[in-house]
Amino acid sequence: MVAHKIAVIAGDGIGKEVVPEGIRVLEAAGRRFGIELSFDEKDWGCERLAAKGRMLPEDGLETIAGHDAIFLGAVGWPSVPDHVSLWGLLIPIRRRFDQYVNLRPVRLFEGVPCPLAGRKPGDIDFWIVRENCEGEYSEIGGRLYAGTEQEMVTQESVFTRFGVDRVLRYAFELAASRDAKHLTSATKSNGIIHTMPFWDERVKAMAERYPGVKIDQYHIDILTAHFVRFPDRFDVVVGSNLFGDILSDLGPAVTGTIGIAPSANLNPEGTHPSMFEPVHGSAPDIAGQGIANPIGQIWSGAMMLDHLGHKEAAAAIVGAIERVLASGRSLTRDMGGSASTVELGKAIESEL
Ligand code: NAI
Ligand code: MG
């Protein structure tokens, strides 16, 4: 048996409902494939902030630094400003553990109603690679003359050659490993005249090392339109922290629901634990009702097993998701069904 120690942070809202389903399916995969997983559950999140004044203990991140991976639900609640909850927990994890790649698959499954006319399963199947540690999400900036007529605010983006090159290298490697060998870069070098031309320059420099990879580059505005009109054109899409964030909600939305979209926050070198979480947030509008779609969380679990070296178990989970979706049984409301979170989780467990 291979034993893995997993830190579990269910977090807020529907995170608390979908994480148990993720664990249910991970345990089933563990039984089938002989993978031993131990789950170290943490109560970190907005409730802890209200009770104890911090989203996580002062030494919290150090207590999980030696774990093999982090399995997270969602963070954020209406009682706490979103920038406080995000910067209080999620961003510190991504930065402390140098999880500089945020990897998000976009796939159209059979059985999930697609909002785009005429698209069938197989048409949409690509990866979004988002820079996850710098870019537009920076603490540099400030506010002067707050609350007066002269009020002014600045916010600086940070793009380093080191940071841009390492995420581009990952994206090029991924593209090179795929049949289509096609990389699309998200830019905005017409309007943003320092960081984005630099981003384009680094794409060009990296492209020289990957002559087998075909490169496209679009400004983010038309790229979002292409995601809707021609989602079949994409294979691997790479973007800065902000552009990647936007694209990775839009991508899953064009395949039917963001409730099924998973993500991996990767430290590719494996020096630190990587983190696996659904793309969606805590969904306060449906939290507590037991109707959230658990597939984003369950698929994130599959990505975690893949990262830990259990390719076969990961593929088996994705296969079980596929078959349950195609059967049309046990679908949650966001996919046109009436099943509960637990019913869908159990259906995938028994399919596995
Ligand atoms: P959201 O993703 O929580 O919800 C957007 C919409 O999608 C809502 O109508 C929701 O009901 C629906 N939805 C989301 N996940 C679903 C699922 N699994 N099944 C069915 N429907 C689902 O985004 P929103 O409303 O912008 O943010 C809510 C809170 O979550 C905020 O505090 C935000 O900061 C936080 N958030 C946290 C993220 C994270 O932990 N990585 C990511 C995005 C938002
Ligand atoms: Mg997002």
Tell me what pLDDT residue 157 has.
97
In this prediction, residue 346 has a pLDDT band, given cuts at 50, 70 and 90, of very high
pLDDT surpassing 80 at residue 218: yes
pLDDT (tens digit per residue) in 49-93:
999 999 999 999 999 999 999 999 999 999 999 999 998 999 999
Tell me what pLDDT residue 2 has.
61
Q: For residue 277, which atom of ligand 1 is closest to its CA?
A: 41
Minimum CA distance residue for ligand 1 atom 6: 283
Active-site residue flag, 334: no
Domains of the chain, earliest start first: 1-100+263-352 (3.40.718.10), 125-254 (3.40.718.10)
What gap in Å lies between CA 99 and CA 231, rounded to an integer? 27
Q: 52, 145, 204, 311: which one is catalytic?
A: 145
Tell me what pLDDT residue 113 has.
86
Bridge partners of residue 36, in order along the sequence:
3
pTM for the predicted model, two decimal places: 0.95
Q: For residue 283, which atom of ligand 1 is closest to its CA?
A: 3
Is any ligand 1 atom within 6 A of the Cβ of residue 287? no
Active-site residue flag, 221: yes
Q: 43, 52, 204, 221: which one is catalytic?
A: 221
Q: SS3 letters for the chain?
A: CEEEEEEEEEECCCHHHHHHHHHHHHHHHHHHHCEEEEEEEECCCHHHHHHHCCCCCCCHHHHHCCCCEEEEEECCCCCCCHHHHHHHHHHHHHHHCCCCEEEEEEECCCCCCCCCCCCCCCCCEEEEEEECCCECCCCCEEEECCCCCCCEEEECCECCHHHHHHHHHHHHHHHHCCCCCEEEEEECCCCCCCHHHHHHHHHHHHHCCCCCCEEEEEEHHHHHHHHHHCHHHCCEEEECHHHHHHHHHHHHHHCCCHHHCEEEEECCCCCCCEEEEECCCCCCCCCCCCCCCCHHHHHHHHHHHHHCCCHHHHHHHHHHHHHHHHHCCCCEHHHCCCECHHHHHHHHHHHC
CA of 13 relative to ligand 1 center, distance in Å: 9
Using a CB cutoff of 5 Å, list residues around ligand 2, an ion. 245
In this prediction, residue 48 has a pLDDT band, given cuts at 50, 70 and 90, of very high
Active-site residue flag, 179: no
pLDDT surpassing 80 at residue 182: yes
CA of 146 relative to ligand 1 center, distance in Å: 30
Is any ligand 1 atom within 6 A of the Cβ of residue 300? no
Is any ligand 1 atom within 6 A of the Cβ of residue 334? yes
Is any ligand 1 atom within 6 A of the Cβ of residue 296? yes
Is any ligand 1 atom within 6 A of the Cβ of residue 259? yes
Minimum CA distance residue for ligand 1 atom 5: 283
pLDDT (tens digit per residue) in 136-162:
999 999 999 999 999 999 999 999 999
ipTM above 0.90, yes or no: yes
Q: For residue 294, which atom of ligand 1 is closest to its CA?
A: 18
Closest ligand, as measured to the CA of 246:
2
Tell me what pLDDT residue 1 has.
58
Tell me what pLDDT residue 256 has.
87
Nearest CA to 11 among 84, 66, 65, 89?
89
Is any ligand 1 atom within 6 A of the Cβ of residue 75? yes
Percent with pLDDT over 90 in the chain: 93
pLDDT (tens digit per residue) in 98-151:
999 999 999 999 998 889 998 998 889 999 999 999 999 999 999 999 999 999
Closest ligand, as measured to the CA of 84:
1
Active-site residue flag, 145: yes
Q: For residue 78, which atom of ligand 1 is closest to its CA?
A: 32
Q: What is the mean pLDDT of residues 19-24?
A: 98
Which of 282, 338, 341 to mutate for ligand 1's pocket (most ligand atoms within 8 Å of CB)? Answer: 282
